[in-house]
Structures are given as structure tokens and as C-alpha cells.
Amino acid sequence: MRFGVQYLFRRPAGDERSMARVYAQELEQIRFAEQLGFDDVWVGEHHFVEDGWLPSPLAAAAAIAAVTSRVEIGTNAAIPALHHPIRLAEDCAVVDAISGGRLLLGAALGYRAREFDTLGVPHRQRAGRLEETVEILRRCWTEESFSFSGRYFAFEDVRCRPRPDRAAIPVWIAAAEAERSLRRVARIGDGWLASGAPQWHARKTYLAALDELGKPVDRPPIAASSKPWLFATRDPERDRVWLRPLARAMMATAQAWYDEAGQQFPGGFTGEQLADRLLLVDTPENIVAEIRRAHAEGSFTRHIHQPILLGAPPDRAAEALELFAAEVLPHVRSLGEPAEEGE
């Protein structure tokens, strides 16, 4: 299994660091994560957030490419409906060239209405725009020239340059566990960015959709999180005291966005309840057990977690990351390997 870390470049209220300092510190930790042996680094996308939540994932991806040499660099997730598809294709191709072919484009529908309203994109069109954009991206990257006529976009004689040096940039689709969403992932995606750890019923739905399309179902590419916020420590009780309020504050922001859109959190949870479910502050041994449990419930091929909660001191997050690399990674890397499955 491959293990990745995700960064959002956020600065909480009251933090006196400049945004330049926030970016420098997180880029330094990304370099450190590569040295520790992590396999990939992921960045997200949101707009108009007071804490500065990263709005430009491909700009950040280019910076990460420049300070690393080995890790794959993914977006988890970009929101293609908010971008012009040809410009997005060009930006991805540039990042892929800078990185030497290490980009993974993770794409999501997006759900925050304010982002769509402010950027002049009808929220109800996001699914159709996502699907058309993915088709246009692949044609930009693989065809000498092409024309396109869809419901939302129409182009004549497109000659997109540069094109990736490899066959194409992988496009992963972010989705929860609704059947319609999983069928979309199977149809247009090269992999599934799962929301949390996929349950067996969701994985079965995804596999069935892949099979119907004639796509391989042996170890399908699925990226997941046993818990999105993992903090390895030798003193869990001490660190839960200061980390739990940070997680709850982060989910309060998300709950406000759902309330704004007139939607309910998945599972009917409140933001506080969901924060407690998504955060794991524990010993390396217990984190190993949690990752193994999640994998047994719905096998995945990549694991992603966020090492820095909003408001957490970067040096404390780096300590947890180092402990995770030393005492968790060696015990879970073989998950999903054929030899293990046959035991």
C-alpha cells in the first residue's frame, strides 16, 4: 500500500505568522515527509475561506514538485467545475513537466454553493461540467488536435501544449458512497478518492460498476483514510486534550458550509460528533490496528491522512509524522499484497 499526507496551508484566527511563513513551514514538512518515506503528497481546494484554505492546488503542486524528487503529488481534490477545462489541462501539463510525471489529478464535484455563486458557475451544473471537463482534459493531453461540442463547452481545433510526456495524467474522482457517485467514478475515473474508509458494500458497488464497463477489478485503485486526522504519540491522553478542540473547530467550519447549503452532514452527525469520529490521537500500535481494521472493511490501495490540524504547532505535527513513519509504516505497507490475501 502507498501512504500519503495531505496539506491545506491554512492559518487559524489569531495566528501571527505571515502566509509566506505558513507556506514555507508546510513545504518544509513536505520535504521531511518525503525523507521519511511517504509515497505521495496531496493538496485540496476551497475558496473564500477566512483561514486562507488553499484555493490554488496546482500552484501549490508546482511548488511541491520543485522541493521534492520522488513523491507523487495529488489534488484531493480540485474542483474542475470552477476552472476552464483547457486552462486546467495546460496547468496540469506544466506541473507534470516540472515534477517529471508525478502529478495525480484528483477531482471533486464541489459542494459549497458560495464558491460557485461567486465564481459565476451554476451549482446545479457541477456534475455535468465535471464529466465534460474530464473528457476535455484527456483529449488535451493525448490528441494532436480536437474539437468538442458538449452541453457546457464547445471548442474548435484545440491544440493544447505542452502535452504530458507520459500517456496521460491519472484522473482520480472523489466521491462518497452513493451508487450514482460510484458509477461516475468507475465510468470516468482512473481511481476513486473515497470519503473516509470505504465500507464493503461501497467497494462492491464500485467493483460491479467497473466490471460492467469491462475495466479491471483486481486491486482497483482506491485512496482512503482510516481516519483523516491521525496523530501518533506516546502520550495520547495528553495530546487529545489540545487536539480535540482543534478538530471540533475545523468541523464547525464545515458544518457552517453544509448549513449554508441546506444540507445535513453525512450520517446525520453534528460537526462536533463527526470531529470526534474522524480524529485519532493514539499510540503507533493502536494506529496500526485502526488502519488494518479499516482495510479489512473495504480494501484500498492508498492511505491518506492530514498530519497538521488547523492550529497545531508545525513542530509537534512533524514529531507525530516522524513517529508514524518509524513505527506505523513498516507494519502496514504490505496490506493488500497478494501474499497476504492468500494467508
What is the DSSP code string of 32-88? HHHHHT--EEEE----S-TT---S-HHHHHHHHHHH-SSSEEEES-B-GGGS-HHHH
Residue 204 within any structural domain of the chain:
yes
Residue bearing cell 484528483: 106
Distances (CA, A) of 278 to 57, 73, 142, 247: 23, 23, 39, 8
Residue 79 within any structural domain of the chain:
yes
Task: Characterise 293 by phi-psi region: left (phi > 0), alpha (psi -120 to 50), beta (else).
Answer: alpha
d(CA 311, CA 288): 25
- Tens digit of each residue's pLDDT (9 = 90 or more) over 94-145: 999 999 999 999 999 998 999 999 999 999 999 999 999 999 999 999 999 9
- Tens digit of each residue's pLDDT (9 = 90 or more) over 135-172: 999 999 999 999 999 999 999 999 999 999 999 999 99
CB count in 10 Å sphere of residue 299: 19
The answer to whether 230 touches 307, Cβ cutoff 8 Å, is yes
Task: Band the pLDDT of 38: cuts 50, 70, 90.
Answer: very high
Contacts of 21 (CB under 8 A, 6+ apart): none
Residue 10 within any structural domain of the chain:
yes
Residue bearing cell 475515473: 189
d(CA 85, CA 9): 25
**With 50 as the cut, is the pLDDT of residue 252 above it?**
yes
Residue 260 within any structural domain of the chain:
no
Residue 261 within any structural domain of the chain:
no
Domain span at residue 324?
2-235+282-341
Residue 274 within any structural domain of the chain:
no
What cell numbers appear for 194 in the block?
473515497
Q: How high is the pLDDT of residue 338?
A: 59
Residue 242 within any structural domain of the chain:
no
Q: How many helices (H) and strands (E) does the chain have?
A: 13, 12
Q: How high is the pLDDT of residue 255?
A: 87
CB count in 10 Å sphere of residue 267: 8
Q: How high is the pLDDT of residue 259?
A: 83
Residue type for 339, please?
A
User: Taking the mean position of all CA atoms in its chain, how far away is CA 123?
Assistant: 21
Contacts of 27 (CB under 8 A, 6+ apart): 63, 64, 67
CATH code for the domain in which residue 153 is found: 3.20.20.30
Q: What is the mean pLDDT of residues 299-328?
A: 96
Q: What percent of the chain has pLDDT over 70?
A: 98
Domain count, the chain: 1
- Tens digit of each residue's pLDDT (9 = 90 or more) over 69-96: 999 999 999 999 999 999 999 999 999 9
Q: What is the signed CA dihedral for 104, 109, 114, 120, rounded to 10 degrees? A: 90
Contacts of 39 (CB under 8 A, 6+ apart): 2, 3, 4, 71, 72, 302
Q: How high is the pLDDT of residue 286?
A: 98
Q: How high is the pLDDT of residue 153?
A: 98
Q: How high is the pLDDT of residue 258?
A: 82
The answer to whether 232 touches 243, Cβ cutoff 8 Å, is no
Q: How high is the pLDDT of residue 343?
A: 39
Residue 291 within any structural domain of the chain:
yes
Task: Band the pLDDT of 342: cuts 50, 70, 90.
Answer: very low
d(CA 148, CA 134): 12
